[in-house]
Amino acid sequence: MDEDLKYLQLLSKHFPNIQSACTEIINLEAILNLPKGTEHFVSDLHGEYGAFQHVLRNASGVIKNKVELKYCDTMMEYERRDLCTLIYYPEQKIKLMKQSLPEINDWYRVALKQVISICQSVSSKYTRSKVRKSLPKEYSYIIEELMHESSSEPNKADYVSSIISTIIATGRAEHFITAICHVIQRLTIDSLHILGDIFDRGPEAQKIMDAICDYHNVDIQWGNHDLIWMGAAAGSAACMANVIRISLRYANLETLENGYGINLLPLATFAMDVYRDDPCTQYKPKLESSSLFSQKKIHLIAQMHKAISIIQFKLEGELIARHPEFGMDSRMMLHRINFNNGTINLDGVEYELKDRDFETINPDSPYTLTAEEKDVVDQLLFNFTNNPILTKHIRFLYSHGSLYLVRNGNLLFHGSMPLNSDGSFKDVTVGGKKYHGKELYDRIDAIVRKAYFAESDDPEKQYAVDYIWYLWCGPDAPAFDKDKMATFERYHIADKSTHKETNGQYIKLKDDVEIVEMILKEFGLEGPHTHIINGHVPVKAAKGENPVKAKGKLLVIDGGYSRAYQPETGIAGYTLIFNSHGLSLVQHTPFTTIEDAVQNGIDIKSEKVLTEKLSDRIFVRDTDIGTELKRQCDELKRLVDAFRKGKIAQN
């Protein structure tokens, strides 16, 4: 029996006769002729949950556009704004209306009709089956009836009106409105792409991860800030030290302590003891406002910050010594210090150090942890590797994430592509072999997975764990791609020339159309409507930088979600919308608060930077999913043919 017939026999277990197979063919062919679902691209969230969840709720302005289109001639501007706020934050908006209106039932009646109307609009491009699956089970039948019946139809007017009246009379209006608003949010976006750097700087990365874990369709392209968290969870002490150092640098204890329950007491106790007489001036945290913490707390954070930084420099020195092939000797700083006169020698130049108090460094063996430091590291690492909440989130990053993604004509990755100065692909040595282009990305992706999932006795596991740290800050790491990360220099050397981090060739050449098209072709993408989409390097919009590169072939969507970047970028991030009509790149102003949004109707101001409209609308048949559905149709047609020719018996 040939392999094709064997496969068709297996397929016949799901579709046992001609009727069932033909029914599925009809269903798939119909889906192929629906408009493509809307894709939403975001990047570099850096723990800013407030801004992220708002952009998620308003779908980068898509919901507002739906409301404008539906009610521009029948509603005042403030009424449309209130309706948008209701859809974004139904629980909070309803609570506010109950407090301010003497008769809430009339408002319920109007609000129900309005949100049902918007829900009909956003669901129109999906099958009833898909819409039904998005509805809350307890209300699915009634919501479906309301969505597919019209009060303007004479035969159904009383029927629809009766449903709405009964919902209000039974005290369920609040629940129905809330449920429908969440359905609108869900159906507006078919898939969400997060192009890396969920973690660090901002205070609520764990809340972002919770939201992502519950999202209906999401993928993640790992950024270097995500990778150090993944490395820490895989057992890399160097990655873990970086995670804690960055959190302390931005006084971000929320994610570590409250989000993941990481016990920082061993570090605090150690730091207070060793640095009790040290002002730790160079390690004071970066704060939006000095009133956020008491001076005593700020000093404690500074002490902990210094303690973990020195530990990090030691751990990294040991790791670099293990891997001379990483070519990162220049990052090893401690043996270059002259502890007698408080200077450091870099490339033959002596620089004065801003901080000369190195209580735990032995000049004769500067990269050796003290017994107390080793104890702190062991306790902290245990917290990271035996943490159920972090484990859940890290496993989600693995199951829904990758180093890159090719989807519907777009190549998605966080950072860059290692290139030579002439624009050709750069050979990068990984595990003793040279790789470049797509092959390099695939090899690195495999190593990242081995670091977490390989058994402890696997001889390649330790290399993989160490390599994740390299991906955080290595010169040829695609998610970083700078000649160095000047961590020690920024803390300890006043001369800013030592702080300079030079971008890789990709950052310099990404406006070259031919190079961008070369990269796209490497990943199997050719044609006028293919793009590279990436983040990582904040677009300095305040200085006139354009996120659209290479005549629209490359789009950078890191514009500064992180508040730490906003003084430099002047904005609060870019997002990208790709629907059946084309691409829209949207620039956002900073998010304020949920209270401001609910009480004052303050939405993030969004401005389209680029609109790439297509001459022909995209349907499901034109997408990657469409290719798979067409393959399924072909297989089912072969099955029907086998039934008709008697090669396979019908059941």
pLDDT digits (tens, 9 = 90+) for 137-149: 888 888 888 887 6
How many Cβ atoms from other residues are within 10 Å of residue 128's Cβ? Answer: 11
Q: How far apart are CA 452 and CA 465, in angstroms?
A: 8
Give the model's confidence band at 130: pLDDT under 50 very low, under 70 low, under 90 confident, else very high: confident
Least confident of 107-116, 167-176, 287-296, 540-549: 540-549
Residue 540: the pLDDT is 66
Residue 600: the pLDDT is 67
Q: Residue 578 pairs with which residues in a beta bridge?
A: 39, 583
Residues 310, 337: contact at Cβ < 8 Å? no
Closest listed residue to residue 535, CA positions, set 45, 110, 59: 45
Residues 441, 478: contact at Cβ < 8 Å? yes
Residue 489 to residues 330, 344, 354, 358, 501, Cα–Cα distance (Å): 11, 10, 10, 15, 11
Residue 418 has pLDDT above 80, yes or no: yes
Q: Residue 434 pairs with which residues in a beta bridge?
A: 429
Residue boundaries of the structural domains of the chain: 3-34+623-644, 60-190, 218-388+425-492
| Residues in contact with 275: Cβ distance below 8 Å, sequence separation at least 6, in sequence order | 303, 306, 307, 357, 359
Residues 91, 179: contact at Cβ < 8 Å? no
Residues 271, 376: contact at Cβ < 8 Å? no
| Residues in contact with 616: Cβ distance below 8 Å, sequence separation at least 6, in sequence order | none
Residue 603 has pLDDT above 80, yes or no: no
Residues 41, 195: contact at Cβ < 8 Å? yes
Q: What angle do CA 217, 218, 223 make, to 5 degrees?
A: 175
Closest listed residue to residue 562, CA positions, set 113, 10, 52: 52
Give the model's confidence band at 562: pLDDT under 50 very low, under 70 low, under 90 confident, else very high: low
| Residues in contact with 223: Cβ distance below 8 Å, sequence separation at least 6, in sequence order | 43, 44, 195, 196, 197, 198, 414, 415, 479, 535, 536
**Bigger pLDDT: 276 vs 60:** 276
Residue 514 to residues 422, 428, 439, 510, Cα–Cα distance (Å): 12, 22, 20, 9
**Bigger pLDDT: 57 vs 310:** 310
Task: Read off the pLDDT of residues 187-224 as tens digits, 9 standing for 90 and up.
Answer: 999 999 999 999 988 889 999 999 999 999 999 999 99
Across 391-416, average pLDDT: 96
Least confident of 137-146, 167-176, 370-379, 433-442: 137-146
Residue 85 has pLDDT above 80, yes or no: yes
- Listing DSSP states for 97-132 in one string gives HHHH-S-HHHHHHHHHHHHHHHHHHHHTTS-HHHHH
Residue 60 has pLDDT above 90, yes or no: no
